[in-house]
Structure 1
């Protein structure tokens, strides 16, 4: 059975054992790019395929015939149409793209769910999670371990309670996902900020000063002179992070730092897909409109062969 804090402890030990003073720790939560391909529909639709399906899923469509691709795309369209009104709105398209891009999160939740839903009732209680994760550690602690599991358990309980919207200490799948990946949920972002501040705030004043900020991302040990990026980070703290110029970052300033308002790639791609496929220009898509433009959304042997032919002709 997977023990989350133990795995975290091992991971932390590995980081500190192998990291070098020159390496930089990044606390900022960015939405990842939808694809590392160039977005140039004049050349191909590779970017759109990966944005719509996710990178790994997009590859599977390249092995299908056009008919098979259309059939599978049709089934996806039915999933995207959440209210079952026969139309795909930009909002529904955006939600699907975000889901497709974050399948790894749901895979992780599936793994954790099986380990913690001990009575297999489709719910995870705090007691189930606590017993599965901390049970034997607290029953038989290792005096030489030096790791404060009680503190970690208390922190997990606080996060679990925040994820648990109805306050019954029983998490459904969505609440459990919010517990494991709080950065993905707006109502959990406060706890992301609080936990980050607790990690960095070494003097316990509830704020992050310049030295704590630098100390979290840079280890001075064995490095006679600060690298250039550390000097830049000092300037960033003084000029941009510490907005009220009191020498420290409070909760709001920390939130602005680690949870920036990034450009919404999923929304931009959703608008692009709707615009390019909306033949009657009513601002929403039917299943037929999407299938008619199937090569914009998904690949197939035909598109893959066409690209291979182009590559062959270049030599």
Structure 2
């Protein structure tokens, strides 16, 4: 049976949504995103923010109360910038390992320490069954396979065509390692580029962004959100550095994974900006609990995902 890759790997659209959130903070030098993604939408999280009830809020408060005692390493009832940053990094790494382990166990029936390419392809694509008859489906499948092959090669540091578990983590989460940067850029360009010129036009950029945030096109008659115009300006003023009306490979790289950019640090700044009401550089438990749902769908909880396994952290 063929397993769909979206069960394991973050979809390109969701990854773009997250990248856009960080990218906005980066180019404007402020830790706030004026577009949906961080404030209004839980990306892949387990909580339905638009359908909260009293039980949800009570559960969220209970879990966050437990989490902040874990974040407060020195037990002084305050959370410093360093403590929160270290926690977010811990959540990112732990979540990536957990997701990779779940995928590993689905593919590997035995307790092997390595996974070969054939095992991965056979489990995820079922290509050896030769059951794909729809031409469009087959083309999409081969495109995914090509992307996976490129990503596999980048993750396979010892070039033995097998991945150890640590390499498999990088395969599933290439955005976490600098040596995977090129393959992330390639994947993104292929996903957005509609005409195959390996450049991203404003239309292609906006089309993907609208789809990422599930916004109907202008043909729907529904007024566009205010952030659409800002993103169009963003494309030309900040992203298109050579002003040729397209994003090339280097510009895409600086858009989604800027060199030297620390997304965890930016998220920590963002949380302090909105939670530290007295601006003293420390977060009290009360300040966090005052905006508990805001905190609970930030990177500090992997956008709500860790609510299902917080006691494993």
TM-score, normalised relative to structure 2: 0.57
User: What is the match of residue 259 of structure 1?
Assistant: 257
User: What is the match of residue 59 of structure 1?
Assistant: 66
User: What is the match of residue 167 of structure 1?
Assistant: 159
User: What is the match of residue 228 of structure 2?
Assistant: 230
- Alpha carbons of structure 1 residues 135 and 224: separation in structure 2 relative to 1, 3 Å: closer
**Equivalent in 236, 248, 263 of residue 250 of structure 1:** 248
TM-align CA RMSD = 4.5
* Contact 2:236 2:243 survives alignment (8 Å): yes
Q: 1:220 Cα deviation (Å)?
A: 3.2
TM-score, normalised relative to structure 1: 0.56
User: What is the match of residue 181 of structure 1?
Assistant: 173
* Contact 1:30 1:259 survives alignment (8 Å): no
User: What is the match of residue 299 of structure 2?
Assistant: none
Q: How does 1:267-278 map to 2 (within 5 A)?
A: none
* Contact 1:94 1:266 survives alignment (8 Å): no
Greater Rg, structure 1 or structure 2? 1
For the residues of structure 2 that align with 1:201 and 1:249, how far apart are their CA atoms? 10
For the residues of structure 2 that align with 1:183 and 1:112, how far apart are their CA atoms? 18
User: What is the match of residue 205 of structure 2?
Assistant: 213
- Return 5+ residue gaps in structure 1 as ranges: 16-23, 37-54, 64-68, 74-90, 270-295, 297-302, 308-315
Corresponding pairs, count: 221
Once the two structures are overlaid, the 10-residue window that deviates more, 157-166 or 226-235, is: 226-235
For the residues of structure 2 that align with 1:116 and 1:109, how far apart are their CA atoms? 11
- Alpha carbons of structure 1 residues 263 and 109: separation in structure 2 relative to 1, 3 Å: closer
For the residues of structure 1 that align with 2:168 and 2:238, how far apart are their CA atoms? 35
Q: 1:27 Cα deviation (Å)?
A: 4.0
**Equivalent in 77, 92, 95 of residue 104 of structure 1:** 95
Q: 1:120 Cα deviation (Å)?
A: 2.7
* Contact 2:2 2:125 survives alignment (8 Å): no
Q: 1:229 Cα deviation (Å)?
A: 1.8
User: What is the match of residue 148 of structure 2?
Assistant: 156
For the residues of structure 2 that align with 1:229 and 1:122, how far apart are their CA atoms? 47
- Alpha carbons of structure 1 residues 62 and 160: separation in structure 2 relative to 1, 3 Å: same
**SS of residue in 1 equivalent to 2:253:** helix
- Return 5+ residue gaps in structure 2 as ranges: 26-30, 32-38, 40-61, 76-81, 211-216, 270-281, 290-313
